[in-house]
A and B are shown apart, each in its own frame.
Chain A
């Protein structure tokens, strides 16, 4: 029993560090349109309609390594807020982004797919199951 728990923990740990296997290969136009809508409602007031943020106040998403990087990390940034996820010593900004855990798994997947497509040089889409998994790991 103990062994199976530790194996499970190991598996969770691994999945937390790497891309989960169910990432969709290509973002559909429908998902991008839905993600854009979520962005309009929840993100653009701070990160701005063009994704360039506001100097010193809120970071740019365009060409950002975290946006285009590890899917688990960027999902956690949305669900938990960056202050609870990103390493200390990172560049900080005047306004602290709150958690957006009120968004559904689908909304998080859509908006991250949109942002990674729009501002992250076509980084891989984010699937609903990936969000569901991360949410269950980091409630």
Chain B
């Protein structure tokens, strides 16, 4: 019965999607691509704006965009010109600020999170807004304020992965302060700083019902499954303030450049080395954190922690990640990943970085080749960003639409649709 309903839902949405494509095809791009810079042949259009503070987004099979703020907004192309109109909102107990982040479609459900909880709504074909109450799937997840955002990712078997981030920069006395001293994080890591696996269907689970799949990570909400290898990958928000804690051994340049945002393969039993270490992309080595005796020279003990599969510059702040499975973009993008980088604050006095959508190429086996390139840029609208306040927009979400267009949102509620014409 469940399977039949799912088939009907998929079939109906597929029909809707086809009719939408036939009607709308690609929209007319904005002459300035909505302020973005893009590779040749790509264009963009601002399809919605001024939605208020927004975080992640998800695109339904029919092309409707569901976007998180303090509830769930539904955007629909009512005129068939690509522009999205706000047609409604729903959601209970949605959290606020960073807590109101996670959203994803899975099967015939829409899942969403607040800072403690995972909910899901049953979606009905033809109804943009679900009726009834959501079902609570996981409750009472830890949250101490700070890095409390939670995203939702499924593997090929329907297991659900939820990261519980750390409110700390480094688990230490006088965190972030000059001379901060690291503490044994064994107990802390039993409930924080890891990725837990849950059943995607079982209601009212708690953290104790989950399985700690990855530990030793600070906060990772940019998580997605490779459509080829079926492996999950995640980009962690690395530590801050090396030179604040230990100015004798670290310069501002070291702090800006030498503590990567790390993309990891998410595999059972991994330890990514937080809070004891960080990955230095310049030295290409996992270094001992200054709170634990590091001096910018000592490496972490070998063999304890995973090295990243891709190292991004420090402090770029990875938020949402999605794999590209469409055929609209040139072939090089197929099965690669797009990552929305919110943009840094902790690179001052050096110019800030990030504020872009990066593309990570993957090989034919569904593994990253180890590099990245900036795909969409100039969200900030200024050539050099000294202070966060100068940035006009900060990317917060990225997801693919049914026609292969890429939808990107900023944390201020602007949504762009990026598409390829080859012209």
Interface residues of A, Cβ cutoff 8 Å to B: 40-42, 44-46, 48-50, 52-58, 60, 81, 92, 94-100, 102
B145 at the interface (CB under 8 A from A): yes
A60 to B179, CA, bound (A): 25
Cross-chain contact A98 with B177 (CB below 8 angstroms): yes
- Nearest residue (CB) in B for A60 is B389
Residues of the B chain whose Cβ atoms lie less than 8 Å from the Cβ of A97: 176
Pick from B146, B243, B247, B411: contact of A95, CB below 8 A. B146
A45 to B349, CA, bound (A): 7
Cross-chain contact A49 with B98 (CB below 8 angstroms): no
| Interface residues on chain B, size class | 20 to 34
A54 to B315, CA, bound (A): 13
Q: In whole Å, how far is B271's beta carbon from the nearest beta carbon of chain A?
A: 25
B174 at the interface (CB under 8 A from A): yes
Q: In whole Å, how far is A82's beta carbon from the nearest beta carbon of chain B?
A: 12
B20 at the interface (CB under 8 A from A): no
Question: What are 21 A-B contacts with C-beta separation under 8 Å?
Answer: A42-B244, A44-B349, A45-B244, A45-B345, A45-B349, A46-B346, A48-B386, A48-B387, A48-B389, A49-B348, A52-B387, A52-B388, A60-B389, A92-B145, A94-B145, A95-B169, A97-B176, A98-B174, A98-B177, A98-B180, A102-B179
**Contact A94 to B389, CB < 8 A, known contacts A58-B345, A102-B178:** no
Q: In whole Å, how far is B182's beta carbon from the nearest beta carbon of chain A?
A: 14
Residues of the A chain whose Cβ atoms lie less than 8 Å from the Cβ of B229: none
A98 to B240, CA, bound (A): 14
Q: Which of B247, B387, B390 has the most CB of A within 10 A?
A: B387
Residues of the B chain whose Cβ atoms lie less than 8 Å from the Cβ of A52: 387-389
Residues of the B chain whose Cβ atoms lie less than 8 Å from the Cβ of A57: 345
Residues of the B chain whose Cβ atoms lie less than 8 Å from the Cβ of A100: 177-178
